[in-house]
Structure formats: C-alpha cells, structure tokens
Amino acid sequence: MKFITVITVAMFAAGSAYGQNAEIGTWAGFRKGAASFTFDDGAPSHVSDAGPVFDKYGYKGTFNLVYNWNPNWSGFQSLADNGHEIASHSNSHGQNMSGEEASSKTNIGGKIKQKYGIITVAYPNCNVPNERAVLQNYIVGRICNGSWQGMSDIMGKNGPSNWAKASAIMTGSEGQIKSTNDFTGQMQKAVQSNGWVAFLTHGFSGKNNGSATYSPTDLGAIEGALQWAKQNDKDIWVAPMGFVAMYIKERNAAKIEGSSDSNSMTFELKHNIADSISKYDYPLSIRVKTSWSKVEVTQNGAKLDSKIESGYVYFDAVPNGGKIVVKNGNATGTGNTTTRTTTKTIPSSGSCWASSLGYKCCTSSTVVAYTDSNGQWGIQNDDWCGIPNTNNRNCWARNLGYNCCSTQSCRNAQFSDTDGQWDIENGEWCGISTSNVLC
Ligand SMILES: *[C@@H]1O[C@H](CO)[C@@H](O)[C@H](O)[C@H]1NC(C)=O
Ligand SMILES: *[C@@H]1O[C@H](CO)[C@@H](O)[C@H](O)[C@H]1NC(C)=O
Ligand SMILES: *[C@@H]1O[C@H](CO)[C@@H](O)[C@H](O)[C@H]1NC(C)=O
Ligand SMILES: *[C@@H]1O[C@H](CO)[C@@H](O)[C@H](O)[C@H]1NC(C)=O
Ligand SMILES: *[C@@H]1O[C@H](CO)[C@@H](O)[C@H](O)[C@H]1NC(C)=O
Ligand SMILES: *[C@@H]1O[C@H](CO)[C@@H](O)[C@H](O)[C@H]1NC(C)=O
C-alpha cells in the first residue's frame, strides 16, 4: 500500500510586507545619473561613424532626422535595428517647425520601424513649436541649452519641468562642450545631482556631414566620453533621450505591490499611463530585499536576468507585463508556492491494479483464469495474480484508490513508478491515463 502526503503551503499570504521592500531604481540599474547623446540633421557620418563608435561600447544614441532632407533611410533603419533611437527633427527644418509636429512623426515613422515608434522630437533652431501638439505626439520634446529657455542645463531626476522643453547642451565648435573632459564634467554633474544630462551634436569634424554643417564636434572626444562612461558604468546610465524620458514617466507612475510565502515573493508592477503615444513598457529596474543566496526571477513565466548584491536581488521588469515571481533558488521542488512531499513507496516490480486488492501481479504471460470488474486474473504459485493490462491503462489509478487526472488540461508527470505516471490536481495525486494529453 502506498501513502501520499501533499502539503500545501498557504499561497500569497495576505498583508505581507514584501511590497514595501521592493523599490524601483531612480535610473536603470540603480545608477546615480543618466546621460543621453542626441544627433541632429541626419548626417551620413551619423550612420558611418557615430553608430559604430556607440555600438563598440554598447551604448545607444538618439538620431533626429529631417524628413525632407531624405537621410539614408536604410542606414538609419539599421541603427534602429541595433537599438538606437530614431526621432523627428521636423519635415523641413524651418525656423519654427510649428505645424509639422504630427506630420513629421508620421512621415519619419513611415520610413523607420522601431519598437516604440517616433517618441522624441528635437526642434530646429531650438524654437519650441506648438507645445500642445508636441505633447500629444511625443513623449519628449527637446530644445537646446536649457539656459536659453530659462530651464536648467542639467535636468533633475524627474526630467524637465516641461516635457516639451527637455534640455540638451550644445557640443562642438559653437558650444562649450568640445573635449572629452567637457563631456565627462557634465556627466559627473549628473551623477552628483542624481540628474540627467543630454548633449546635442551635429556633424563631426573631418567626417562626411551632409547637411549637418553646424558646430562640428570631434568624434574622438565623444568616444573618450563613452570610454569614461564604461569605466563608470555603475554610476552613469547612457541611453537614448526617448527611452530615458519613458523610464522617468513610468517610474513616477508605477506601483509595485507584493505578497510572499516562505520560498517565493510575487509582485505586480503596474502603471496606468495611457498608451496613446507608445506602449510605455520600457523595463524598470527593481530591487527587493532578500536573505536568499540564490534566486530565480520570472515575469509572466519567462526567466529574467537577476543578481544578488548586498542583501538585494536586482532585476529589470516590464510594467503591466504580468506577475513577477522571485523564487528561493535553494528551495527544492518546482518552486511553486505548493510544496510537495511524498512517502509514496516504489512498489516491487510487476505491480499493477491487483496490488491495491492485496494480490500480486502476474510476472509472466498467464492464461486468463477468471475475469471480474477489476480485470483479468491468472494463477501463479498457486495464488491469484492480476494480469497487467497494457491495453487498458484507462483510469488504472482508481484501483489504487486515487483519481485519474482530468482531461481539462494537459498533464505533467511529476512522479513515475511502475504503476504509471502521476500528476497533481487539487492538491492530490492523480494518475495520468491514456485519455490524458501530456503537456
Ligand atoms: C546608407 O547606410 C548603409 C549602411 O547601413 C551604407 O552601406 C550605405 O552606403 C549608405 N548609403 C549612403 C547613400 O550613404
Ligand atoms: C513657434 O511657433 C509657436 C506656435 O505657433 C509659437 O508659440 C512660438 O512663439 C514660435 N517660436 C518662435 C521663436 O517664433
Ligand atoms: C549654449 O550654447 C551656446 C551656443 O552654442 C553657447 O554659446 C553657450 O555658452 C552655451 N551655454 C552653456 C551653458 O553651455
Ligand atoms: C563636414 O565634413 C567635412 C568633410 O567631409 C569636414 O572637413 C568638415 O569639418 C565638416 N564640417 C562641419 C561643419 O561639420
Ligand atoms: C544556497 O545555495 C548556494 C549555492 O548553491 C549555497 O552556497 C548556499 O549555502 C545555499 N544556502 C542554503 C541556505 O541552503
Ligand atoms: C503554481 O500553482 C498554481 C496552483 O496549482 C498554478 O495555478 C500556477 O500556474 C503554478 N505556477 C507555476 C509558476 O508553476
């Protein structure tokens, strides 16, 4: 006879304090500051020179294109495919792009396919067009040096006070940012203030600039800045302007709530930003206090990268992207909140339906001596034995005092013995029979 114990630990204990122990990072990776490199006018050198330099360090920039200047669409598409952001710099680069807010988005969006669409606009000549139209079509509108518009040059952790007026400091011959030290000095200020600095670059000295002839910048100075960022990667987050803007808006609108039991914590990360401009599912960085030395983190069933450091588990998750589960990686079993233990003894070989009736099973092919509702009986060693019936495995478990698994869902064999394969249903073992479909 077999004994099975199924212990179900209370799921999702109500009122758990774990929600308070989960925090969203001010910046991705819990870094101290953010930096964005933006490039105006769609120069050929942006594709041929800037893209590869950024890719070399694993960083991404924002490239603001002028639709009527017919930039190298396939070249910029390949930048977008590499994770860079392509954005609008108007249709015609007039003195004031007012009236082209929506159409330039549609036009450029028709040429460039990228995950979040065209979500950033940079104004030609730094002139703010119709703010309402900007904010209806874009997540962020970019001016030039903030100080020109009465804004700060380095933005705070919540971005600009007006999302139609994000600052970017001009680089190159006409700006104050020329050398690597100039760039890194601004990035250090962002780190020190937990803020966000953006740079505005046009063409590069000595490179093929096309229409981007204003204020050439030394690309080597930018490369030096990226090298510095790589060395200080734990402090500075380098990312495209639109992505940083999205992160800030999501972070400020998101709530994370959780519940837990002894071996897992479950979280919901949600915001209710309308998706009229984009889907706002840029991943947010989360950390949760833990005493576990090994964890596995999943969202909506898919595994997330995670690390444990100084008593926290760190991972990035998508808001409104399904349940986040942090499991104790040292816990045994499937790690679900249900712990399964069994004393189900492995029966002697030859066991079959008859064992539940106190008889042995026939070990060799035997003539049928008797048939009843239990099955077919033979005789071996002067005793009845049950003839294993491989053609009739349907609901074999019932003879053993268990239910057969329902056919409502596919089955996973959690345990196998010579009786057959077992799954768990409603906290009890059930036998997988020929009427079930395996997952
Ligand atoms: C456009 O960019 C691609 C690289 O993606 C390059 O091979 C091609 O020469 C560029 N075309 C022009 C006209 O610059
Ligand atoms: C640009 O156009 C907008 C909307 O018409 C207007 O409010 C703004 O003052 C203009 N800017 C300049 C510098 O002319
Ligand atoms: C802003 O840019 C202008 C022109 O490029 C430059 O003269 C000025 O010094 C800059 N201001 C700051 C604070 O960088
Ligand atoms: C533009 O490109 C040329 C080389 O093609 C370079 O010599 C020049 O410095 C660049 N000028 C500007 C304004 O970017
Ligand atoms: C958890 O697992 C890690 C590595 O597998 C091990 O070093 C550690 O001692 C385990 N902790 C516990 C509490 O079992
Ligand atoms: C955990 O168990 C519950 C109830 O049996 C089930 O609905 C859920 O899908 C399981 N989750 C995982 C990750 O196995």
206 lines ligand 4 (CB under 6 A): yes
CB of 385 closer than 8 Å to CB of 378: yes
CA nearest 42: which of 113, 133, 108, 134? 108
Interstrand relation of 33-40 and 196-201 (parallel, antiparallel or unpaired): parallel
| pLDDT at residue 393 in the model | 58
Q: What is the mean pLDDT of residues 49-57?
A: 98
133 in helix, strand or coil? helix
Cα(107) to centroid(ligand 2), Å: 22
Interstrand relation of 428-431 and 420-425 (parallel, antiparallel or unpaired): antiparallel
Cα(43) to centroid(ligand 4), Å: 10
| pLDDT at residue 20 in the model | 53
CA nearest 428: which of 1, 2, 7? 7
Of the listed ranges 3-17, 55-69, 379-393, the one predicted with least confidence: 3-17
Cα(327) to centroid(ligand 5), Å: 13
Mutate to test the pocket of ligand 5, among 290, 293, 313 (most ligand atoms within 8 A of CB): 293
129 lines ligand 2 (CB under 6 A): yes
293 CA closest ligand 5 atom index? 1
Find the DSSP H helices in 21-72. Answer: 44-45, 51-57
Q: DSSP characters for 222-248?
A: HHHHHHHHHHTTTTEEE--HHHHHHHH
Q: What is the mean pLDDT of residues 241-252?
A: 98
CA nearest 217: which of 250, 35, 225? 225
Cα(322) to centroid(ligand 4), Å: 50
pLDDT tens digit sequence for 139-150: 999 999 999 989
Instruction: Spell out the residues 6+ positions from residue 382 whose beta carbon is closer than 8 angstroms to its own.
Output: none
- Residue 11 above 80 pLDDT? no
For 75, the token pair is 């070249």
